[in-house]
């Protein structure tokens, strides 16, 4: 069996695998797609000490770094289920069963899409999901934020300090965000809030040039010229495959303690699939390292 099996090959999984392998213990990593969300990213400017890089480049560097070590890499392979007998049994979709004394879950998350024409086409060409990551790319430009929950309103407040103008678009007749966030939002001079509107299309040529929406009470269709659209309707953790094996919070995230340990002894989790409040590359890498050290500590005590 493995001493540590890492599930997921994004920043959290890569970091966990390297930290585990450096302890000289038997380490494996199973990933559907090495690099994870990083592969879908263009400019990365907040991975500290690397001023500017691109997603595919960083993803390749992650894999390269893991390959420097004695890590058994199983990719592309998808994990189907997990159970614990005396050790963990991990079933892959191809039917193989892997055995490991400890497991680090690092299966990440995905942004919920609005699923309107233009969204997929203009991803990274005006359609963005992460205000901390891409906000500065829209300096002095006009953007829309789709979604009036906490993440949408936080994004709008954040972006209003960077961009020229922000239009918030909420499907329901009222914003769902906390009142203090709404008050802060309404105090800003360069924000317009549209409620009870349905996004119809993100328009553009080589990149985004506007957004078309329908006023739900009147049925009237309107169009705004702008350069960016931030979709903020939720981040969904890739934890469905865990089913009843492990308790998750109402958002589907895995609760972890300060060692990145879950409630099940020997089972750890790291990165965007956990209840960590902020989801970023550098944070995922830190938690992956922490989980691997937690797993090592567990192994030497058991």
Work out whether 31 is an interface residue with ligand FAD (CB under 6 A): yes
Q: Tell me which of 4, 5, 6, 12 binds ligand FAD, using CB under 6 A.
A: 12
Q: How many residues bind ligand FAD (CB under 6 A)?
A: 38
Q: Is 235 annotated as a binding residue?
A: no
Question: Is 75 in the active site?
Answer: no
Q: Is 154 annotated as a binding residue?
A: yes
Whichever of 181 and 289 has its CB closer to ligand FAD, that residue is 289
Q: Is the dihedral of CA 218, 222, 224, 230 positive or negative?
A: positive
152 and 143 in contact (C-beta within 8 Å)?
Answer: no
Q: Is 127 annotated as a binding residue?
A: no
Question: Is 133 in the active site?
Answer: yes
Q: Is 13 annotated as a binding residue?
A: yes
Q: Of the residues 64, 72, 86, 134, which is catalytic?
A: 134
CB of 257 to ligand FAD, least distance (A): 17
Work out whether 284 is an interface residue with ligand FAD (CB under 6 A): yes
Phi, psi of 12 (to 5 degrees): -70, -45
Q: Tell me which of 5, 18, 106, 155 binds ligand FAD, using CB under 6 A.
A: 106
Work out whether 199 is an interface residue with ligand FAD (CB under 6 A): no
Q: Tell me which of 28, 36, 118, 210 binds ligand FAD, using CB under 6 A.
A: 36
Whichever of 11 and 266 has its CB closer to ligand FAD, that residue is 11
160, with CB counted inside 10 A (0-12, 13-18, 19+), is buried
Whichever of 185 and 274 has its CB closer to ligand FAD, that residue is 274
Per DSSP, the residues of the chain read: -EEEEEE--SHHHHHHHHHHHTTT--EEEE-SSTTGGGGG--EE--BTTB-SEEHHHHHHHHHHHHHTS-EEEE-S--EEEEEESSSEEEEETTS-EEEEEEEEE---EEEPP---TTTTTTBTTTEES-HHHHGGGGTTSEEEEE--SHHHHHHHHHHHTTSSEEEEE-SSSS--S-HHHHHHHHT-TTEEEE-SEEEEEEEESSSEEEEEEEETTT--EEEEE-SEEEE-S-EEES-GGGTTSS---TTSPBP--TTSB-SSTTEEE-GGGB--S---HHHHHHHHHHHHHHHHHHHHH-
Whichever of 17 and 226 has its CB closer to ligand FAD, that residue is 17
Work out whether 62 is an interface residue with ligand FAD (CB under 6 A): no
CB of 241 to ligand FAD, least distance (A): 5
Work out whether 46 is an interface residue with ligand FAD (CB under 6 A): yes
Q: Of the residues 64, 86, 133, 158, which is catalytic?
A: 133
Point out which span in 101-109, 172-180, 261-269, 289-297 binds ligand FAD (CB under 6 A): 101-109
Phi, psi of 20 (to 5 degrees): -70, -50
Work out whether 294 is an interface residue with ligand FAD (CB under 6 A): no
Q: Which residues are catalytic?
A: 130, 133-134
> Binding site for NAD(+): what residues are annotated?
142-156
Site for ligand FAD, rule CB under 6 A: 7-13, 30-34, 36-38, 40-41, 44, 46, 78-79, 106-109, 111, 129-130, 133, 238, 241, 271-272, 279-282, 284
């Amino acid at each position: 069996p493995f001493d540590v099996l890492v599930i997921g090959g994004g920043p959290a999984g890569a970091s966990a695998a390297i930290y585990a392998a450096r302890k000289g213990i038997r380490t494996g990593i199973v990933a559907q797609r090495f690099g994870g969300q990083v592969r879908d990213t263009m400019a990365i400017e907040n991975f500290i000490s690397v001023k500017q890089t691109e997603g595919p480049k960083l993803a390749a560097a992650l894999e390269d770094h893991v390959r420097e070590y004695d890590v058994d890499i199983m990719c592309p392979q998808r994990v189907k289920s997990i159970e614990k007998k005396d050790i963990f049994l991990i079933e892959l979709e191809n039917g193989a069963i892997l055995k490991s004394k400890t497991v680090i879950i690092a299966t990440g998350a995905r942004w919920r899409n609005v699923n309107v024409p233009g969204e997929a086409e203009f991803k990274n060409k005006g359609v963005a999901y992460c205000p901390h990551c891409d906000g500065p790319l829209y300096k002095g430009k006009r953007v829309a934020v789709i979604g009036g929950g906490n993440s949408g309103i936080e994004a709008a407040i954040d972006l209003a300090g960077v961009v020229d103008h922000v239009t918030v678009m909420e499907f329901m007749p009222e914003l769902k965000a906390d009142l203090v966030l709404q008050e802060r939002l309404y105090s800003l001079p360069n924000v317009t809030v549209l409620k009870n509107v349905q996004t119809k299309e993100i328009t553009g040529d080589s990149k985004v040039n506007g957004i078309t929406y329908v006023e739900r009470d009147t049925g009237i269709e309107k169009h705004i010229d702008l350069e960016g659209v931030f979709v903020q309707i939720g981040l969904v953790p890739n934890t469905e495959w865990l089913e009843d094996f492990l308790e998750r919070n109402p958002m589907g995230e895995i609760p972890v303690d300060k060692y990145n340990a879950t409630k099940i002894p020997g089972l750890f989790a790291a990165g965007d699939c956990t209840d960590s409040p902020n989801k970023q590359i550098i944070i995922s890498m830190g938690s992956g390292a922490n989980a691997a050290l937690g797993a090592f500590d567990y192994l030497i005590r058991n």
